Amino acid sequence: MKAHDFSGEELRPLQSIEQWEDDVLLRYPDAGEPAKAKEEFRNYENPGRDTVRDFYRLNHTYQTYEFVQEKRADFLRFNRKEMPVWGAMEFLNTLVDDSDPDIDLDQLQHLLQTAEAIRADGHPDWFVLTGFIHDMGKVLCLFGEAQWAVVGDTFPVGCAFSDRIVYPEFFALNPDTRDERYNTKYGIYSPNCGLDNVSMSWGHDEYLYQMTKNYLPEPALYMIRYHSFYSQHREHAYEHLMTNHDKEMFEWVKKFNPYDLYSKSPKPPVISELKPYYEDLIAKYLPATIRL
């Protein structure tokens, strides 16, 4: 059952879901790069900024504790499709980003570039595999989900929203802000209860984590589950909910983030050359088929 019926504009405020990541890049430019391009990097016909604002207005309005529980109850049954992991990647790749004026790369190429950058730095193979699959949860878009329930910064629900989350003013529109169960610092949680006990806003990160949690080493699972949790891994706004173990594991999340943000290059990876290596990696860690 759907609690809300969203209009087309509400479902798809962005021209493409890549617009969200482009905006993240503006917020967190590569420290190693000359300050070149902030403006040059994106030049949409209609400046993307308002679109992204709109996206966050919807995200912050509708990502309530209850909304998240509904999505979990629905999607974590994994009853939509079953396919090999490479097949799921090809399925994801049917979500083509045709609005990007700079670089005409699709989803699979972003994943391969992320993974290849990790591999080039000599990291363990499970880290490379994590880079390769980290956005596979974006298949949610292909199931008709609203963009703001697939991508966007993630944050805890069930407790007060931090003002270190991007566009915090829009949380005034979220009914949880007026619900005394949820609007205190700890809300339904207790000090340092551990992030595993915390519901995050719904999106591709949690979805993929739940899909892969029995198969990958713990650092990989943290990277997958929290890679869009910028208010913590960049802004440190939620340490009061974390255990010491969470904090240690977040070193991996931080290590992963630059590969996700800064590995985009116009030289497209040759998929056919790389496929055997990644098929072997998938076979080493993941089951023959995966349920979406």
Chain residues that interact with Fe ion, rule: CB under 5 A: 135, 260
- Total count of residues recorded for the chain: 292
Minimum distance between the CB of residue 175 and Fe ion, rounded to whole angstroms? 27
Q: How far apart are CA 120 and CA 6, in angstroms?
A: 43
Minimum distance between the CB of residue 224 and Fe ion, rounded to whole angstroms? 9
Q: How far apart are CA 207 and CA 205, in angstroms?
A: 5
Rg (Cα) of the chain, in Å, rounded? 18
Which residues make beta-bridge pairs with 200?
A: 156
Whether the Cβ atoms of residue 185 and residue 160 lie closer than 8 Å to each other:
yes
Minimum distance between the CB of residue 60 and Fe ion, rounded to whole angstroms? 18
Minimum distance between the CB of residue 260 and Fe ion, rounded to whole angstroms? 4
Closer residue to Fe ion in complex, CB, 22/176? 22
Closer residue to Fe ion in complex, CB, 116/135? 135
Residue 284 is encoded by which pair of tokens? 């080493």
Residue 269 is encoded by which pair of tokens? 């990876």
Q: How far apart are CA 171 and CA 149, in angstroms?
A: 15
Closer residue to Fe ion in complex, CB, 176/260? 260
Report the interhelical angle of 18-27 vs 244-262 (nearest 10°). Answer: 110
Q: How far apart are CA 268 and CA 72, in angstroms?
A: 35
Minimum distance between the CB of residue 135 and Fe ion, rounded to whole angstroms? 4
Closer residue to Fe ion in complex, CB, 116/260? 260
Closer residue to Fe ion in complex, CB, 176/205? 205
